[in-house]
Structure 1
Amino acid sequence: MNAKEPRGPNEKLGALLALAGISNAGLARRVNDLGAQRGLTLRYDKTSVARWVTKGMVPQGAAPHLIAAAIGAKLGRPVPLHEIGLADSDPAPEVGLAFPRDIAAAVRSATELYRMDHAGRRAGGGGIWQSLAGSFAVSAYATPASRWLITPADSSVARSGEDGGTTVRVGHSDVAKLKDAAQEARRWDSKYGGGDWRASMVPECLRVDAAPLLLGSYSDEVGRSLFGATSELTRLAGWMAFDTGQQEAAQRYYIQALRLARAAADVPLGGYVLASMSLQATYRGYADEGVDLAQAALERNRGLATARTMSFFHMIEARAHARAGEDKAAGAALAAAEGWLERSRDGDPDPSWLDFYAYDRLAADAAECYRDLKAPRQVRRFTEQALSKPTEAFVRSHGLRLVVSAVAELESGNLDAACEAGTRAVEVAGRISSARTTEYVRDLLHRMEAYGNEPQVVELRERARPLLVAPA
């Protein structure tokens, strides 16, 4: 917790603290709490903050980024280090948040993010993402979503490689390798969770394989395919970060994935990225913004996407409405999702990234909607349908469905059935690497606290203990 030498009063930090309405003691508490979320033991107090403001002392390590995150959370927007007078600390949290209009700038923005992630991983532990703890801000999605809605495709993406890039000539075979990598990563992620080492190789693939291709030479046709494949991989990297609890990394990957989808002129893929953003926003407690993002995906894809794709987007919309407590809107979105799914046919040109979506997935998400709406009878009905076809290909989804089933049984007063489903969920969670699944289990145990002395609850808690104390 040592600080660098004083530089004179930090007027920028003082002014922004006043704007945010945060006291010195309040900032210290927020920074300590954000550090604890990333396993850091920090003991800053109001005197520490006073030194930062009046003497210009700069705390070392992750502290500058935690300060920016704490103020940003209060203001409801990202706060870059230069705005609080701490821009000489690395790494810059702005990386990955830009959505450039210019295609060359878009390539630089994406490849810079890939390099930053690599530097963080080499640093060990949480690396850069640990430094950016808590820096997720849903407002960062506003500009990307609006620019994509206004212009969902670039006019041309052909590149000669003369503007600082390499001389490698990119062909369809290069793009095919990226698509194969994405398909393999999706398979491992579904089966073993975003933290599985085989799935987590996606960021390395982006840095080592995709980035040099983006900086190479290609025709407009090949470039569109290249940007599409790279967008898929980048969205996957974001999804895996989301699944393992690295929300700040997920947000940056999603923004770059959306920009690359625009370069690919792939509107359904852009909608898929927006749907991923919507789920994250909803999961983080920003359900209204989640509705907006899902509806943006729907609006641009009318008349373009397949029936199955439109069904998926409506299902994501329903999740956000349900989390916001809007039962009628959630019901309408679910009905629309079911209607579109009934229209789909085996011969439809559905995108490969949607191969997981069928009625059992719709039923699973419907169950979660009704869980949020506190309708346990509906939860049980849809969960039974979701669990009717267990498959080893989607282990994580099966585990999540078991937890939702346990919650429904608990709210219906069936403690034994809830503990039975919970036990099965814990067994599944122990076989995968997914912080999201662990959080579902944690929430279930929290709901069971009122039955804390019941033998079956005690047994379930003991079974879950290794899962809950293990690093996410």
Structure 2
Amino acid sequence: MGGNEQLAALMRQAGFLREDGSVGLKVFARAVGEQAGRTYTHTYVRRWLDGMIPRDEQTRRAITDALAKRLGRPVEPHEVGFGGSRKVSPDLGLSYPDKALDGVSTLGGLWQADLDGLTTLLSAPANVAAWNEASLSWLVSTRHDLISGTGRRRIGPADILGIRSTTEMFDRLDGQHGGGHARRSLVEFLRTDVAAVLQGTYTDEIGRDLFRVTAQATLLGAWMSYDAGLHGLAQRYFIQALRLAESTGDRLLGASILDAMSHQATFLGNFREAANLARAARMGTETAGSALALAHFYAMEARALARLGDAAECDRAMSAAVSQFERRNPDSDPAEWFGYFNEAELAAELGHCNRDLGRAVDASTYASQSLGPSPSGYVRSDFFATMVLADAYLDQGDAEQACEVALGALQIGEQLKSARCGAYVDEFKQRLARLGNSRAVSDFIEQAAHTRLWRPQDARTVPSRGGLPRS
């Protein structure tokens, strides 16, 4: 993995970087500083050459202006590897890479295209065949990747810790404010800081830890993109995260990514594919020793089967989820990232399933158990569970109670930027319309009209049936 060869080539062409390897980094730093009206050092230039893209537009423009001044012609951002006016294959990221390093290169392209706002990817739909290919490739893989880097910067445990702690910060923001809140900032972190670390030098042992935390950070980027309604882009991030996870030998991490892909497939109405993705996750990890993970995989399978209307198979999967959950030992479970999957989360999953099977009373019971006597602290999760409860009351014919609960959900949702939240609201509207008008309904609509999520939004995807996945 090299650095930013496009920038290096233009620096050589402009005389800032000589062919024999000697460098004039300080000279280039001064030239950029003159254009920006601020001071840069040779350390900044070294980072740019290593592949880090400056976050601020002023610095990026100063770099191209400094090169343009020396070359005597305009220099566009994409010429120095900073994106801009360039074409990207509409299939970028859909294929499951044969080699781990190919996946790293693909991710770099996805991150940059995302930041450039290329509609080719941002508006792309999900591809059903890509789910099938990725899950099968992961399930039957016998590859053993050798992971090492040979760049200028030496990478160690502190770099791994930095990526992990930053990812955890973005994860908290996602749960509190939705995927649309800080998604771009996460992608900028991936494209600059993480990309620069990937281009460093490290041993195979450090490399596996690095690829693991990168896979986890990319998985979060996929979740946030999915939550923001960018489904084709999210699918690509899921697939590339899965390939990174495979290269580390961490089967549980890979299975959790398939589990997330199942989540998205159910949301988009691809129920059979969703069930198969959850089954693949389970089949690939049955001997991994994580009852908590198996419980979640069964729950995802149940969610898809409920949407298919297959009550018998859904009941089987729900029963298996409960059985595995009762066997869990959170203190020693190897899939520590499923630690959030507690009694409230399981109840929420069962609430969704029963709602979609037409068991409104059971759905309201489980949704109420999920919400408990006080908020969970996961704002978006509380919103989803509250909307399921409102749906269940509507299905029981209790419009007044349903509207009261839904209004509480809308108030929770005021701080969320989430296309999925909007889809839950749109579905509630459809259910409400079937009841006809009443004083309770008209009073609710008058109050709801003042909330952000009740107003029509773009980029919402409403599945053909209820049961939208929970975060």
Q: Distance in 2 between matches of 1:390 and 1:337?
A: 25
Once the two structures are overlaid, the 10-residue window that deviates more, 449-458 or 258-267, is: 449-458
Mapping of 1:5-404 within 5 angstroms?
A: 90-120=87-117, 128-129=118-119, 132-151=122-141, 154-159=144-149, 161=150, 166-197=151-182, 200-391=184-375, 393-404=377-388
Where 2:415 maps in the other structure, the secondary structure is coil
* Amino acid paired to 1:151: S
Amino acid in structure 2 at the alignment position of 1:421: V
The one-letter amino acid of 1:146's match is: L
2:448 to 458, 461, 464: 464
Count of aligned positions: 372
Preserved CA contact (<8 Å) 1:107 1:215: no
The Cα of 1:130 is off from its aligned counterpart by 6.7
Please tell me whether Structure 1 or Structure 2 has the larger radius of gyration of its CA atoms: 2
Q: CA deviation at 1:136?
A: 1.5
1:170–1:275: structure 2 CA closer, same or farther, 3 Å change rule?
Answer: same
Q: Distance in 2 between matches of 1:450 and 1:329?
A: 29
Deviates further, 448-457 or 257-266: 448-457
Pair 439,463 (structure 1): closer, same or farther in 2 beyond 3 Å: farther
Give the alignment's Cα RMSD to 1 decimal: 1.9
C-alpha separation between the residues in 2 aligned to 1:213 and 1:373? 48
CA distance in 2, matches of 1:234, 1:389: 34
Check the 8 A contact 1:287/1:321 in 2, yes or no. Answer: yes
TM-score by length of 1: 0.75
Closer, same or farther in 2 for the Cα pair 1:394/1:130, shift >3 Å?
A: farther
The one of 408, 418, 429 aligned to 1:424: 408
CA contact (8 A) 1:129 1:246 kept: no
Is the contact made by 2:292 and 2:333 (CA closer than 8 Å) also made in structure 1?
no
Does residue 436 (structure 1) correspond to residue 407 (structure 2)? The answer is: no
Render the CA deviation track for 1:209-242: whole Å, top value 9, x for unaligned.
1112222221111111111100111111110111
Q: Which letter maps to 1:173?
A: A
Counterpart-to-counterpart distance in 1, 2:389 and 2:441: 16
Distance change (3 Å), C-alpha of 1:389 and 1:195: farther
Q: How many Å apart are 1:349 and its aligned residue? A: 3.3
CA–CA separation in structure 2 for the residues paired with 1:279 and 1:254: 11
TM-score norm. by structure 2 comes to 0.75
- Which amino acid letter does the alignment assign opposite residue 128 of structure 2? V
Structure 1 residues 353 and 202, CA, compared in 2 at 3 Å: closer, same or farther? Answer: farther
Query: 2:391, 2:428 within 8 Å by CA — same for their partners in 1?
Result: yes
User: Contact 1:271 / 1:298 at 8 angstroms: preserved in 2?
Assistant: yes
Q: CA deviation at 1:155?
A: 3.5
**1:411 — aligned with what?**
395
- Cα distance in 2 for partners of 1:216, 1:434 equals 35
Q: Which residue of 2 aligns with 1:32?
A: none
Distance 1:463 1:434, change over 3 A: farther
Asked whether the equivalents of residues 153 and 265 of structure 1 are also in contact (C-alpha less than 8 Å), the reply is no
Q: Give the whole-Å Cα distance in 2 for the aligned partners of 1:398 and 1:314.
A: 22
Percent identity between the aligned chains?
Answer: 31
The residue identity in structure 1 corresponding to 2:390 is A
Q: CA deviation at 1:366?
A: 0.9
Give the secondary-structure state (helix, strand or coil) at the position aligned to 1:469: coil
Alpha-carbon contact 2:393-2:401 (below 8 Å) kept: yes
CA contact (8 A) 2:113 2:121 kept: no
- Return the alpha-carbon distance in structure 2 between the equivalents of residues 243 and 460 of structure 1: 26
Q: In structure 1, the residue corresponding to 2:179 is in which secondary structure?
A: coil
Q: Give, as a single letter, the amino acid of the residue that structure 1 aligns with 2:163.
A: L
Letter in 2 for 1:142: N
Contact 1:308/1:350 (CA < 8 Å) preserved in 2?
Answer: no
Question: SS at the partner of 1:362?
Answer: helix
132 and 435 in structure 1: CA distance in 2 versus 1, 3 angstrom threshold: closer
8 Å contact kept, 2:389–2:405: yes
Question: What is the distance in 2 between the residues matched to 1:90 and 1:98?
Answer: 18
Cα separation, partners in 2 of 1:185 and 1:131, compared to 1, 3 Å: closer
Task: Compute the displacement of 1:306 (Å).
Answer: 1.4
What letter matches 1:133 in structure 2?
Answer: S
Describe the shift of the 1:152–1:258 C-alpha distance in structure 2 as closer, same or farther (beyond 3 A): farther
Cα distance between partner residues in 1 of 2:332 and 2:184: 31
Output the CA distance in 1 between the equivalents of 2:213 and 2:336. 11
Is residue 132–residue 273 contact of structure 2 (8 Å, CA) maintained in 1? no
Cα offset, 1:254, TM superposition: 0.4
- Inter-partner Cα distance in structure 2 for 1:180 and 1:191: 17
Return 5+ residue gaps in structure 2 as ranges: 1-84, 460-471
> Aligned in 2, Cα 1:91/1:102: closer, same or farther, shift over 3 Å?
closer
Please report how far the alpha carbon of residue 98 of structure 1 lies from its aligned counterpart in structure 2 after TM superposition.
Answer: 2.3
Match of 2:6 in 1: none
CA contact (8 A) 2:170 2:186 kept: yes
Pick closer, same or farther for the CA change 1:355–1:270 going to 2, 3 Å.
same
Contact 2:100 2:247 (C-alpha < 8 Å) held by counterparts = yes
User: What is the CA deviation profile of residues 50-102 of structure 1, one whole-angstrom value per residue up to 9, with x for unaligned ones?
Assistant: xxxxxxxxxxxxxxxxxxxxxxxxxxxxxxxxxxxxxx983321211121111
Change (3 A) 1:305 1:269: farther
CA distances 1:126-147 after superposition (whole Å, capped 9, x unpaired): xx24765242112111221111
**Alpha-carbon offset, residue 464 of structure 1:** 3.3
CA spacing shift, 1:265–1:463, aligned 2, 3 Å? farther
Choose between structure 1 and 2 for higher RCO, CA contacts under 8 A separated by at least 6 residues: 2
